[in-house]
Structure 1
Amino acid sequence: MKKIITNIAVISCLALTAQQVSAQKVVVNREVETTNDGKMLLGNQLKDQFLKAPYADWFVKEHDEYTVDQKAVGELKKAKINTYNLVVFMGTWCEDSHRDFPRLMKILEELKFPDGKLTIIAVNRKKESPTGEESRYNIQKVPTIIVEKYGKEIGRIIEMPTSGYIERDLVEILKKDDKSVIKEIFK
């Protein structure tokens, strides 16, 4: 009986150890110091991180000065954008990210977009993140804003919106999604 209890204890310990080893910890709000770029964010980030120095210098100015297209925001609300997930790849060293990332955050505030449906991943100059998510999404340029539904990519905005407005490009992505759903129904 003692041997059985010992074996159960050993197996339980091994199972627990295996579970802990396989569980990947995601470090959030990682900041690194670089020779050429100074401080840089890397990996998964929370939006509050951009309100801290030195990122607040560019983030707050662009965020506060941007005027959101209210008509497009209304269309995004009608299209239920809050039911989608957004994955954003950006670089704190990148001028396009300095412009469009704060604008996106302001748009999402207007939409009351749920924080739990937003993933922000900061990359280095080689477009790499600590977890390698950039390969899964085939990231070539930043910022890249990816719209997903049920784990499937619906569309993306790469580097800069084609219409000149992120919210208008998001409307176009959601319109295409509606059409694809209708096509699937009538196949």
Structure 2
Amino acid sequence: MKKIITRIVAVSVLAIASQQLSAQKVVVNREVETTNDGKMLLGHQLKDQFTKEPYADWYVKEFNEYALDQKAITELKKSKLNSYNIIVFMGTWCEDSHRDFPRLMRILDELKYPDSRLTIIAVNRKKESPTGDEVRYNVHKVPTIIVEKYGKEIGRIIEMPTTGYIERDLVEILGKDDRSVIKEIFKKEN
């Protein structure tokens, strides 16, 4: 019995040690200097990083000037967007990101969306991030806005909203979430 307990403890210690060694540290708010594009954000970012120069030039103007679709905002509140996770892939070099990323942030600000549910990942011109998240999420264009519930993707907006308004596209995505995710998670095995 003592040998079995010793082996279990040894295996447990090895498993924990290997987990700690393989755990990847994520650098937040990484900024790089490029030859062609000057300063560029790369990898996981916090939203306040965009209010700093040189990003504030495009971010603040678009954030402040964007006129929200209040009907869609009301729908997003009813649909409880704040209970979903949002992952955004964007490029500080990308004109579409310059337009739609600040608009998304304005929408989330209006909804008092929790920062803890938001992941912002800046990519380079090859659409790559330091942690390879673009591969995991199959991202090929920016901006890409992904909506998740319980770790499962509900929908995404790629490059530009199909309705012309991010908040309207988000309403459509949440409208499609007919609890199918919950059903899938708790489905019975036959």
Shorter-normalised TM-score: what interval? 0.7 to 0.9
State the superposition RMSD in angstroms. 2.5
* Correspondence 1:119 to 2:119: yes
Which residue number corresponds to residue 68 of structure 1? 68
| Structure 1 residues 35 and 181, CA gap change in structure 2 (3 angstroms) | closer
**Percent same amino acid at aligned positions?**
81
Q: How many residues align?
A: 176
How do 1:157-176 and structure 2 match up within 5 A?
157-176=157-176
Shift of the alpha carbon at 1:23?
2.0
How do 1:1-187 and structure 2 match up within 5 A?
18-178=18-178, 180=180
Q: Secondary structure at the match of 1:92?
A: coil
Q: Secondary structure at the match of 1:178?
A: coil
| Structure 1 residues 16 and 96, CA gap change in structure 2 (3 angstroms) | same
Separation (CA, whole Å) in 2 of partners of 1:181 and 1:161 = 23
Q: Secondary structure at the match of 1:61?
A: helix
CA offsets, 1:6-29, max 9 Å, x none?
xxxxx9997776454222110000
Shift of the alpha carbon at 1:89?
0.1
Q: Secondary structure at the match of 1:97?
A: helix
TM-score, with length taken from structure 2: 0.86
Which residues of structure 1 form unaligned runs of 5+? 1-10
| Structure 1 residues 22 and 181, CA gap change in structure 2 (3 angstroms) | closer
Q: Secondary structure at the match of 1:160?
A: coil
Residue range with higher mean Cα deviation, 100-109 or 12-21: 12-21
Asked whether the 8 Å contact 2:62–2:99 carries over to 1, the reply is yes
Asked whether the 8 Å contact 2:152–2:181 carries over to 1, the reply is no
Separation (CA, whole Å) in 1 of partners of 2:47 and 2:154 = 23
Separation (CA, whole Å) in 1 of partners of 2:35 and 2:91 = 16
CA offsets, 1:98-130, max 9 Å, x none?
000000000000000000000000000000000
Q: Secondary structure at the match of 1:119?
A: strand
Separation (CA, whole Å) in 1 of partners of 2:135 and 2:18 = 26
Separation (CA, whole Å) in 2 of partners of 1:146 and 1:25 = 23
Q: Secondary structure at the match of 1:157?
A: strand
TM-score, with length taken from structure 1: 0.87
Q: Secondary structure at the match of 2:44?
A: strand
Which residues of structure 2 form unaligned runs of 5+? 1-10
Separation (CA, whole Å) in 2 of partners of 1:153 and 1:16 = 30
| Structure 1 residues 181 and 149, CA gap change in structure 2 (3 angstroms) | closer
Separation (CA, whole Å) in 2 of partners of 1:15 and 1:142 = 38
Whichever residue aligns with residue 163 of structure 1, its letter is T
| Structure 1 residues 180 and 23, CA gap change in structure 2 (3 angstroms) | closer
Q: Secondary structure at the match of 1:138?
A: coil
